[in-house]
Amino acid sequence: MLRKRRWLFISASVFCILFISSCVALSLIAQSMEQPIDDAATIQQIDTVTRQNIVDTISLSGKLEPVERAELGFSVTSRVIEILVQPGSRVTEDQSLARLDTRDLELAVESARASLAQAQAELDSLRQGPTDEELAQARQSLTSAQSGVVQAQQSIAGSQLDQEQTLVDIRRQLEEAQNGIEQKRIGAQQQRDQLSIAKTTAEKTLDQRTELLVQAQDAYSTAKWELDYVERTGLAPESEGQPRESRIELNSFQRQEFTTQLTRSEHALRDAERAVEQALVAYEQAQRDEATQSQVIDLQLQADEEAYQQLEANLVLQLEPQELAQLDPEQAGLANAHARSAQLQQQSEQQNLATANTSLELAQSQYDRTAEGAAESSIAAAQAQLLQAEAQLAEAETRLSQATLQAPFDGIVIAVDKQTGETVTAEESIITLVRSDELLLIGDVGELDILDVKAGQSASVHVDVLPTTSMSGTLTHVSLAPIDIETVQPGTDTLDSASRYEVHVSIPNPDPEVRLGMVATAQIRLVREENALVLPLRAIHEKEGQFFVERLMDTDSNAIGEAFVTERVEVTVGYRTAEGIEILNGLEEGEQVVSQTLPSPTPTSIRADL
């Protein structure tokens, strides 16, 4: 914010100085044009209307910046063991700037090489066929699968022994589940109460802020009516309906107070509207929370109750028929449930046996394949592993090569952010490098001049602290989008937003004494109008806002002391520069005018003094 204010102050000061200078210059020119010439005055010079390019010069200022800036860092994380440059060092392209500790990177390369060798060995092994060791492993897997089948068969026989312990566990789980459900019901009711309270509170807040909004709307309407009445009548609003002699006429400060009151009312209205919107969002959120969380609570309770019912069903499945008769008078139904439980248990054990048999078949198949040799698919998979190992080795070697930081171009080091022994992370900038063979001046041009500014135009650049130094530059960029700069209108406190456009001037091979950050000014010559009719400023006269010249009527007489005849011709002028002024209408190319004549509405005889 301080920077912006300082820029506003500087812009306003420059604008005021230029405005005052222009007014003084125009006043002096007008006085010189209107000054009458006495009868004794003689012609000092005769000027000819010629065609020229109207050339003007504009300037833009700014700080010198690098045309290219690189934040350099390593692509790996490690410890810095050597910094080879310091701020201010000049470096060339590919010059080493810093080095990392490469021990971990070298180990990674060795590990990748080992993985590559292993992948190559596995591929060679598959191509050569199974070894005695591989056949032994396949035979061992087959034996293990056969043991699994035997264990599954034994499990079916011993499942009855575990039924009693299962029954005890299920009853304990039932008791714990029932206690848990009761606790969750109590907690669920508390959560519902909290959600309801939150919704009620949000609704009350919405009502209160709505009422405040209505009050703010009334206050805004009243303030707007009063301001309209004051601007229309110049009287105090309380004078409405009173006799003319009793009405109170307001001064400018009092009228401004009504404008201020309307602004405050409008701000209060906007604040009230935002408060209502926020309260409405909070109320709608509370409604959604109540509905959503209540549904979640109900679903959780329902899931717990279903789990409890499942435990009860599991208990029934484990009970003996005589126990079922004690729990439920409908013995037939419970006996059927017990039968289903036994059937399910048997099915589970049979499924385990089937799984063991499947594993046995797979082990037998694997043994047969091993004995016969590797399949083409296995060789293809091994080849893929080999390619992956080669890629990992290439990546490790690349990371090792990146342990030395090199300059991407010729330049100057302007910052070194790390020291020897510190650890850097991947992509962390440690050295800042800028180009040394080219600088960039960034300034801005106003909307009145921007159409004449083109990329490729030349510019003369001067550094403020080196007044004898001049450099050549070229416009490389003219922005199409404006940047808004606020300036102060002369004689007022009103901020005026002027459209300005960013312009870049490239300065190749700058003077060795020039440094980054120095303030420089670029002078750009602009052709305002091509092949225009031009006269010197001294030939133009002005009176009461009308411009005229004394056109030479008789060009045959040119002897010293011989009289010439002139006539006053009104002209329309265009661009003005230090070299001349553009003639838009009233004269033709080649016509001659005199610089000083006696003001006369009729042709006048004067004498040449050439």
Backbone angles phi, psi at 74, to 5 degrees: -85, 155
pLDDT attached to residue 328: 56
Distance CA 380, CA 369 (A): 16
Query: Where residue 238 falls among pLDDT bands split at 50, 70, 90?
Result: confident
More confident residue, 402 or 601: 402
Distance CA 173, CA 165 (A): 12
More confident residue, 223 or 159: 223
Query: Where residue 163 falls among pLDDT bands split at 50, 70, 90?
Result: low
The total of other beta-carbon atoms located within 10 Å of residue 541's CB is 23
pLDDT attached to residue 438: 87
Query: Where residue 177 falls among pLDDT bands split at 50, 70, 90?
Result: confident
Distance CA 82, CA 80 (A): 6
More confident residue, 476 or 149: 476
pLDDT attached to residue 131: 72
DSSP string, 70-108: EEEE-SS-EEEEEE---TT-EE-TT-EEEEE--HHHHHH
Task: Specify burial of residue 421 (Cβ count, 10 A radius: 0-12, 13-18, 19+).
Answer: exposed
Q: Residue 489 carries which DSSP code?
A: P
On whether the 534-607 domain is CATH 3.40.50.150, my answer is no
Q: Looking at the predicted structure, is the pLDDT value of residue 419 above 70?
A: yes
Q: Looking at the predicted structure, is the pLDDT value of residue 442 above 70?
A: yes
Residues 328, 333, 335, 341: is their CA dihedral positive or negative? negative
Backbone angles phi, psi at 52, to 5 degrees: -145, 165
Domain ranges of the chain: 534-607
3-state secondary structure of 205: helix
Q: Looking at the predicted structure, is the pLDDT value of residue 587 above 70?
A: yes
Backbone angles phi, psi at 504, to 5 degrees: -110, 135
Report the range of poorest mean pLDDT among 119-133, 134-148, 568-582. Answer: 119-133
Q: Looking at the predicted structure, is the pLDDT value of residue 570 above 90?
A: yes
Task: Specify burial of residue 492 (Cβ count, 10 A radius: 0-12, 13-18, 19+).
Answer: exposed
Q: Hey, what amino acid is at 35?
A: Q
Q: Looking at the predicted structure, is the pLDDT value of residue 610 above 50?
A: no
Distance CA 574, CA 93 (A): 53
Q: Looking at the predicted structure, is the pLDDT value of residue 609 above 70?
A: no
The total of other beta-carbon atoms located within 10 Å of residue 564's CB is 23
- Tell me the average pLDDT across 290-315: 78
Q: Looking at the predicted structure, is the pLDDT value of residue 212 above 50?
A: yes
Contact 100, 74 (CB under 8 A): yes
Contact 567, 603 (CB under 8 A): yes
Contact 254, 238 (CB under 8 A): no
Distance CA 253, CA 235 (A): 13
- Tell me the average pLDDT across 163-185: 74
- Give the tens place of pLDDT for each residue, 73-105: 888 888 898 999 999 888 998 898 899 888 888
Q: Supply the mean pLDDT for the chain.
A: 78
More confident residue, 222 or 190: 222
- Tell me the average pLDDT across 561-581: 81
Contact 466, 109 (CB under 8 A): no
Contact 311, 171 (CB under 8 A): no
